């Protein structure tokens, strides 16, 4: 890890050395976007960056409400059919015209096996061109949140993709070299200028953008800076205008630092621990009897009971978190049901009792995989959990690594125990139930983020039925029953929802949305 950190820090210093042009936004985060291919990965920071370049049929306003994007209007023609009218006169960054062919192509591209948003693309059915500015979507089953599923699907230029042999999304987990990973051609307010992974990425304003840009940012320069102190110091000195993820321990200090301000708000994101419940033998570690203890609900519940969540909140998150017993980004997903939201109590005696009942009175050894540049205090939380679990005999080796290598590891199911966060603009339960919790299916994206490969027939039936239930009362019953079953079986261990503080120079005006998307077209840099 140290060579990488030093390299990033050196690169940052080089980037800062040059004087920034007027109305240039210089910002940083601990990690880098994973790829410029908008269908390859479904990671929030990557999506938020790509959203500046590529666009959706539907956009979201500052309150996350749907507003026209590349589509000017939409209507449901029948329970199984939707029609979208497309915006006229839109150009891609290379000057080519946007039309219905691009929409049909993009939706089908997003269904490919290498796409991490295939579950959404499959949920909207089959796209069909009616004319150059009209597209219809026909489904075989009812989708009660059709608009939520179509909203995250980026639109690419068909001809550009075909010309550059980028017709399928980048196979990120297998480190595929791919044209769309380093190049882009969207319709959005900003154009990719140069991509240098792990070093620097630059964009410039699209002079022919169809929409209104509220802010004054003409150029964007992003630098990943892994080291917290380096990142914070660069902001204080004025070398940066904005940092997306100031360390929680520095937030109070930054609030009173001249020239700097904090912009904060709660994020729709739950952070949790997953466990391999598929293999009969533990992948990493040592267990009496050479078994996989995570297949036993009593072990999973014991680990949950051993988590001192208040210590994590107060000492690691500096109070900037909301502990939860729920497994969705927002309690709105389960209609704010207090039974689901409530955590199982911290109880070491109970945890030890459960471990003994499961046949592990002396514990076992395992490995916890963890990112070190994705969630707030991610590695530190993993180290703290390891210390807590040692009190019930579970010896945990923490392996932390950057997101660029961490997520491909998870996608290969190469983990016994892992940290994951799930969030974004959508609060509906479906966007968690189907990709993150349902039993893994070989195609279609169902269960594609269920990296623990838990299987639960009762849960899966309830979740599957809720995804096609049109009656809101019946759907609520199914969702509550499904999430109750998931919680009782402790297929994952929820930790908290993050409070996201942004840090900026005082002359920077930005809009903080609950999806943690930093929208450059709303940024104004004053004198």
Looking at residue 377, its pLDDT comes to: 94
Query: What domain range is 489 assigned to?
Result: 267-499
User: How far is residue 219 from each of residues 117, 186, 259, 520, 524, measured CA to CA in Å?
Assistant: 29, 16, 22, 10, 12
Q: β-strands 285-286, 417-423: how paired? A: unpaired
Beta carbons within 10 angstroms of residue 470's beta carbon: 10
**Secondary structure (3-state) at 2:** helix
Number of structural domains the chain divides into: 1
pLDDT given at position 371: 96
Tokens of 362: 């002396």
Is 464 inside any structural domain? yes
pLDDT reported for residue 1:
32
On whether residue 235 sits in a domain, the answer given is no
Nearest to 276 by CA among 167, 415, 141, 406: 415
> What is the pairing mode between strands 134-138 and 81-86?
antiparallel
Q: What is the pLDDT of residue 266?
A: 84
232 occurs within a structural domain: no
Is 215 inside a domain boundary? no
With H, G, I as helix, E, B as strand and everything else as coil, classify residue 367. strand
CA gap 61, 300 in Å, rounded:
40
> Could you tell me the CA-to-CA distances from 297 to 239, 286, 410 in Å, in that order?
51, 19, 22
Q: What's residue 18's pLDDT?
A: 42
pTM value is 0.84
Question: In which element (H, E) is residue 309 found?
Answer: helix 309-311
Q: What is the CATH number of the domain that holds 314?
A: 3.10.105.10
Residue 250 belongs to a domain: no
Q: Do the domain assignments include residue 310?
A: yes
* Residue 288 within a domain: yes
CA distances (Å), origin 395, targets 206, 226, 303, 311, 456:
53, 28, 12, 20, 28
Query: How many Å apart are CA 20 and CA 200, to the nearest integer?
Result: 14
Dihedral angle sign, alpha carbons of residues 63, 523, 261, 384 = positive
pLDDT at 132: 98
Distance CA 343, CA 483 (A): 13
- Tell me what pLDDT residue 22 has: 56
Q: What integer pLDDT is reported at residue 19 of this predicted model?
A: 41
Which pLDDT value is given to residue 85? 98
* 414: in domain: yes
Over the chain (527 residues), the average pLDDT of each successive run of 10 is: 34 40 88 97 95 98 95 98 98 98 98 95 97 98 96 98 98 95 98 97 98 96 96 97 93 95 92 98 94 98 98 95 96 96 98 98 98 94 98 98 94 97 93 96 91 97 96 97 98 95 97 94 95
Question: Please, which contacts does 313-316 make with residues 24 or more away whose CB atoms are closer than 8 Å?
Answer: 313/496, 315/384, 316/248, 316/377, 316/380, 316/381, 316/384
Calpha distance 29→326 (Å, rounded): 28
pLDDT score, position 265: 84
The predicted pLDDT at position 5 comes to 32
pLDDT (0 to 100) of residue 2:
32
What confidence score (pLDDT) does residue 21 get? 47
């Amino acid at each position: 890890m140290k060579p990488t950190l030093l390299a990033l820090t050196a690169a940052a210093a080089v980037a800062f050395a040059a004087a920034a042009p007027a109305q240039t936004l210089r910002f940083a985060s601990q990690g880098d976007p994973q790829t410029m291919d908008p269908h390859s990965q479904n990671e929030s920071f990557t999506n938020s960056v790509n959203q500046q370049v590529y666009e959706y049929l539907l956009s979201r306003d500052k309150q996350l409400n749907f507003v026209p994007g590349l589509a000017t209007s939409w209507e449901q023609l029948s329970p199984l059919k939707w029609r979208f009218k497309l915006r006229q006169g839109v150009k891609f960054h290379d000057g080519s015209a946007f039309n219905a062919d691009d929409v049909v192509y993009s939706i089908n591209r997003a269904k490919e096996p290498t796409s991490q948003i295939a579950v959404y693309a499959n949920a909207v059915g089959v796209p069909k061109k009616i004319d150059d500015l009209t597209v219809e979507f026909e489904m075989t089953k009812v989708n009660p949140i059709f608009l939520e599923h179509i909203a995250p699907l980026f639109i690419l230029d068909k001809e550009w993709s075909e010309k550059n042999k980028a017709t399928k999304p980048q196979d990120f987990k297998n480190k595929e070299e791919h044209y769309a990973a380093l190049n882009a051609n969207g319709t959005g307010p900003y154009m990719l200028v140069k991509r240098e992974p792990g070093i620097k990425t630059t964009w410039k304003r699209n002079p022919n953008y169809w929409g209104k840009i509220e802010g004054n940012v003409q150029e964007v320069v992003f630098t990943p800076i892994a080291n917290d102190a380096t990142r914070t110091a660069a902001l204080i000195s004025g070398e940066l205008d904005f940092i997306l993820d100031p360390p929680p321990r520095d937030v109070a200090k930054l609030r009173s630092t001249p020239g700097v301000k904090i912009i904060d708000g709660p994020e729709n994101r739950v952070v949790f621990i997953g466990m391999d419940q598929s293999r009969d033998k533990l992948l990493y570690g040592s267990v009496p009897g050479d078994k996989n203890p995570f297949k036993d609900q009593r072990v999973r519940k014991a680990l949950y009971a051993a988590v001192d969540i208040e210590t994590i909140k107060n000492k690691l998150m500096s109070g900037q978190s909301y502990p939860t017993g729920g497994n969705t980004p927002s309690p709105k997903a389960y209609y704010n049901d207090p039974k689901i939201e409530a955590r199982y109590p911290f109880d070491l005696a109970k945890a030890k009792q459960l471990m003994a009942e499961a046949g592990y009175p002396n514990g076992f050894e395992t490995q916890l995989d963890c990112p070190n540049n994705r969630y707030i205090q991610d590695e530190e939380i993993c180290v703290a959990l390891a210390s807590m679990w040692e009190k019930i005999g579970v010896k945990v080796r923490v392996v932390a690594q950057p997101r660029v290598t961490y997520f491909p590891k998870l996608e290969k199911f190469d983990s016994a125990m892992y940290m994951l966060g799930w969030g974004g603009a959508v609060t509906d339960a479906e966007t968690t139930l189907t990709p993150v919790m349902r039993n893994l299916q070989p195609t279609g994206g169902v269960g594609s983020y269920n990296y623990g490969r838990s299987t639960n027939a009762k849960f899966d039936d309830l979740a599957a039925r809720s995804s096609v239930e049109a009656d809101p009362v019946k759907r609520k019953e199914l969702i509550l029953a499904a999430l109750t079953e998931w919680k009782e079986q402790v297929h994952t261990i929820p930790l908290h929802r993050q409070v996201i503080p942004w840090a900026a120079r005082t002359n920077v005006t930005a809009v903080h949305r609950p999806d943690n998307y930093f929208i450059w077209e709303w940024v104004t840099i004053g004198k």
